[in-house]
Amino acid sequence: QVQLVESGGGLVQAGGSLRLSCTASGRTFISGAMGWFRQVPGKEREFVAGISWSGLSISYEDSVKGRFTISRENAKNTVYLQMNSLKPEDTAVYYCAAENTRTYGSPRSREYEYWGQGTQVTVSA
């Protein structure tokens, strides 16, 4: 059982910034891709950003391109999501995800097997 622990959510005004963090706890080593998804009530979970183990393959959902930046520190088993120029429509529960086995291709289409508990991000107008 892999546990992903998220932090960094909160309430900010439109135009503000937040930095989300997600760390695999215990003795787990994440050697595959890691990513972020978000979900609002009544909607399906949506891909936000993903990054390969090497950091050389990165994918973003169109609406966050130029505003969000995903990064990772493998030595810490941690992935980050820097969110700038936040908009009210970014309001959602954000979930961290991890791929068990390293594969190839766009991080958007990876088979993510492990999930965090979610952290609330609220952006006021």
* Mean pLDDT value across residues 15-39: 92
* Mean pLDDT value across residues 22-38: 89
Q: Is 72 left (phi over 0), alpha (psi -120 to 50) or beta?
A: beta
* Mean pLDDT value across residues 39-68: 97
* Mean pLDDT value across residues 83-109: 94
* Mean pLDDT value across residues 97-119: 91
Do the Cβ atoms of 53 and 33 come closer than 8 Å? yes
Residue 103 has pLDDT above 90, yes or no: no
Which band of pLDDT confidence, cut at 50, 70 and 90, is reported for residue 122? very high
Share of the chain above pLDDT 90, in %: 85
Q: Identify the residue whose tokens are 């932090």.
A: 7
> Residue 2's pLDDT is what?
85
> Residue 23's pLDDT is what?
95
